[in-house]
Amino acid sequence: MQKHSYYLCKYFATNQIHVDLIHFNKSEHDISKLEFFSEKEREYIHPTIIEIPVSIGFPGHYIYNSYRHSKLIFEFLKPKLNQYDLIYTKGFTGWYLINQKYKGKINCCKIGVKFHGYEMFQPLPGIAASFKALLLKGPVKKISQRADIVFSYGGKITDIIRSLGVKNSNIIECASGIEEEFIVEKFKPTDTIKRFLYLGRYERRKGIEELSLALQQLISKHTNEFQFHFIGAIPEDKKIDHKNIIYHGEIRDRIILLEKCEPAMC
């Protein structure tokens, strides 16, 4: 589960708001156990696992299977649509549901959609990424236009959403936040070396390759002046073999490391 969705569930539950959580499971953890939520929070979160269908590989199979997945979710929700005050969907999960409401085939509460950063409408590195984006643009545009609410990170993301023909009145800007424990009021340097930190998972769009090129140049000029730490799973072939570039993988005790590093890149 992405952190954004986790915190959304967590703080709805903290405020005693019931959440039906529909998810697929690609994690080593059993989502149905809600093991990362407190006992009190678990009283308000009701998980259901609906796996994404699989098919043979072909150009566009991700979109095809995402649509099939959204239809499975719709069939699960259909008998109890009148129970909800809001349906919040991530990515393509609400595709079929949004279409059914748009066509007047169902009546239900408002449906919101969140498409992260609308990367398919931004400049992308490489021909392969650009081709994938081309396949995604049509469905993303239609879903955004037909949803009752489109959630935006704000800034230029909102400009992209407007360019797709979404009305201002249908856009809600909701910037991502972090928990208070991540805010370090007083930096605790251990020595004179500057420590930088990247926190997040690997995805091509996050610019790890470009960051690594910059780090290699800095290493040659400022070897003893800085360290760069990565928290998150970075593929072996993307790593730099140097004592000043440190890869921690996925660790739980992030706060200790955050206190020792200056700028954090997420």
Cβ distance 94 to 111 under 8 Å?
yes
Same domain, 215 and 152: no
Asked if residue 81 and residue 164 are part of one domain, the reply reads yes
Q: What is the predicted pLDDT for the residue at 197?
A: 86
- Which CATH number does the domain housing residue 169 bear? 3.40.50.2000
87-96, pLDDT tens digit by residue?
A: 999 999 999 9
Average pLDDT, integer, range 23-50 = 87
Is 197 inside any structural domain? yes
Q: Is 195 helix (H, G, I), strand (E, B) or coil?
A: strand
Cα distances (angstroms) measured from residue 56 to each of 26, 63, 70, 71: 19, 13, 18, 19
Q: In the predicted model, is pLDDT for residue 1 greater than 60?
A: no
Owner of token pair 């490391």: 257
Whole-number pLDDT of residue 16:
96
Distance in angstroms (rounded) separating the CA atoms of residues 116 and 124: 15
Burial class (CB in 10 A: 0-12, 13-18, 19+), 241: exposed
Which residues constitute the domain of residue 122?
50-173
Name the more confident of 25 and 163: 163
Boundary (domain end) residue, out of 147, 173, 199? 173
pTM score, two decimals?
0.81
Q: How many domains, the chain?
A: 2
**Strand, helix or coil for residue 193:** coil
Shared-domain flag, residues 210 and 150: no
Same domain, residue pair 64 and 149: yes
30 in any annotated domain: no
With b meaning 16 or more CB within 10 Å and e meaning fewer, what string describes 187-222? eeeeeeeebbbbbbeeeeeeebeebbeebeebbeee
- State the pLDDT at residue 195: 84
Q: Are residues 185 and 169 in the same domain?
A: no
At what angle are helices 127-146 and 61-77 packed, to 10 degrees? 30
Q: Is 104 within a domain? A: yes
Per-residue pLDDT, 184: 67
Sheet holding 87-90, edge to edge: 87-90, 111-114, 149-152, 171-173
In a domain, 39, yes or no: no
In a shared domain, residues 159 and 130: yes
